[in-house]
Structure 1
Amino acid sequence: MKPAITIEYCPKCHWLLRAAYMAQELLTTFEGDIQSVTLQPSEVGGRYIVCINGNTIFDRKVFGGFPEIKELKQLVRDVVNPDKNLGHSDKH
C-alpha cells in the first residue's frame, strides 16, 4: 500500500492555507507515489507536524520554523521514493 501523509496544523494560528498549499504541492509532485494527504486540525496550539504513515518527518518546533516547499518535498521523497528526481527542487 502506498504511504499516507498527514499534515497536522494549528487552526488557531490560521495555518490551514499553508497546510492546504503544502498538501497540493505534495499531491502534485508525488501523484503516483502516495495514497493520500490528510489535513488534520490540531488540538495543540502552535503545532505543525508532517507525518508519513504515522512517523513524523517534520515538526515546526523542532525545525525552528516552516520548511521551504522544496525542503518538504525532499523529506517526503527520501521516505516514499528515494530514487525520484525532483528536478529543480532537488538538492545538489
Structure 2
Amino acid sequence: MMNPAPALPRLAIHYCTGCRWLMRAAWMAQELLTTFEKELGEVALVPGHGGVFRILCDDELLWDRKIDGGFPDIKALKQRVRDRIAPGKALGHSETAAH
C-alpha cells in the first residue's frame, strides 16, 4: 500500500461582503493559484463582514488589513506566501526590485 502524498497548503482569503471586496479577493486568489500552481492545494474565498480582509495559510496569519495597514501589494503577498510554502521558489519578475 502506498503512502498518501502530504496535503498541500490551503490558503483562505477572508473578505468583507459589505465592503464589496469579493473581486479583490478573487483576483488575489487567481494570482496566487497561477504563481503557486504546484505548491497550493486550495485557495478558499471566505465571506465575512466588519471590514475584514485577512489571508491565512493553514490557519497561520499571513496578512490582515487592520494589522498590516491596508491591502497587500500582490508582489509582497506572493513573497509572504512563497516564504511560508516554498522558500526555495524563485518568483521571477515579482522579486525584481523596482527601478
* TM-score computed with the length of structure 1 as normaliser: 0.95
TM-score (norm 2): 0.89
How far did residue 40 of structure 1 move?
A: 0.2
Give the Å deviation of 1:18.
0.1
Query: Which structure 1 residue ranges, 5 or more long, are not aligned?
Result: none
**3-state DSSP of counterpart to 1:38:** strand
Percent identity between matched residues is 51
**Structure 2: unaligned runs, 5 residues or longer:** 1-6
Which residue of 1 is the match for residue 61 of structure 2? 56
Alignment correspondent of 1:15: 21
Q: Once superposed, which parts of structure 1, at least 4 consecutive aligned residues long, lie more than 2 Å away?
A: none
Q: CA deviation at 1:91?
A: 5.6
**Structure 1 vs Structure 2 CA RMSD:** 1.0
Report the AA paired with residue 32 of structure 1.
K
Code of the aligned partner of 1:46: G
